[in-house]
């Protein structure tokens, strides 16, 4: 989105929200741009279209570690903290398989999965939550056998 002209950004948001509304019967209020790439002009257009941008707090590089789920798991183990948004890609079977193993780890550590809206509550259109980077390691998860 950051490489498009303003009119193209508006059209992209419009087409996406219309397609989602047609498929679900509900107009979306949240958006994540491809690669999390966003700047002030894109945020301004999101605001005009009553959309709030949400990126992430944790990126475990599952697309890069497709053949090495231990590496993805290590990032998750060191980065997960309360109220984090994790970027994962369900287009990778390895990620889907890893989540079936990792969700019990989260539950054993007292976490429960919620939607972004449930976690963040109402957010102002045109605002941005999260970033494109990981924060410092947290190291508070205990693995399960």
Task: Render pLDDT for 54-91 as a digit per residue (tens, 0 to 9).
Answer: 999 999 999 998 999 999 999 999 999 999 999 999 99
| Residue 117 and residue 97 in one domain | yes
Output the pLDDT for position 89: 93
Give percent of the chain with pLDDT exceeding 90. 87
Q: Bridge partners of 30?
A: 52
Confidence band for 132, pLDDT divided at 50, 70 and 90: confident
| Residue 73 and residue 15 in one domain | no
Specify if 8 maps to a domain: yes
| Residue 38 and residue 22 in one domain | yes
* CATH number of the CATH domain containing 73: 3.20.20.370
Distances, alpha carbon 143 to alpha carbons 2, 28, 40, 62, 99, in Å: 39, 36, 40, 19, 14
| Residue 91 and residue 60 in one domain | yes
| Residue 68 and residue 114 in one domain | yes
Q: How far apart are CA 99 and CA 78, in angstroms?
A: 16
| Residue 73 and residue 137 in one domain | yes
Output the pLDDT for position 140: 72
The average confidence (pLDDT) of the chain is 93
Specify if 127 maps to a domain: no
HEC string for the chain: CCCCCHHHHHHHHHHHHHHHHHHHCCCCCEECCHHHCCCHHHHHHHHHCCCEEECECECCCCCCCCCCHHHHHHHHHHHCCCCCCECCCCCCHHHHHHHHHHHHHHHHCCCCCCCHHHHHCCCCCCCEECECCCCCCCCCCCCCC
Confidence band for 96, pLDDT divided at 50, 70 and 90: very high
Whole-prediction pTM value?
0.84
Q: Bridge partners of 131?
A: 56
**Is residue 42 predicted with pLDDT exceeding 80?**
yes
Output the pLDDT for position 99: 95
| Residue 65 and residue 100 in one domain | yes
Output the pLDDT for position 117: 93
Q: How many domains does the chain have?
A: 2
| Residue 110 and residue 141 in one domain | yes
Domain that holds residue 75: 56-121+133-145
C-beta atoms surrounding 111 within 10 Å = 16
Output the pLDDT for position 63: 92
């Amino acid at each position: 989105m950051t490489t498009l002209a303003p009119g193209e950004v508006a059209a992209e948001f419009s087409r996406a929200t219309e397609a989602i509304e047609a498929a679900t019967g509900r107009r979306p209020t949240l958006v994540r741009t491809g690669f999390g790439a966003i700047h002030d002009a894109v945020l301004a257009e999101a605001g005009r279209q009553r959309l709030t941008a949400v990126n992430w707090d944790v990126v475990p590089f599952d697309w890069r570690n497709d053949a090495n789920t231990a590496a993805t798991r290590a990032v998750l183990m060191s980065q997960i903290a309360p109220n984090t948004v994790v970027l994962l890609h369900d287009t990778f079977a390895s990620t889907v398989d890893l989540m079936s193993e990792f969700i019990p780890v989260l539950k054993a550590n007292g976490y429960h999965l919620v939607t972004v809206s449930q976690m963040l509550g109402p957010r102002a259109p045109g605002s941005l939550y999260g970033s494109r980077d990981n924060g410092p390691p947290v190291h508070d998860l205990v693995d399960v056998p």
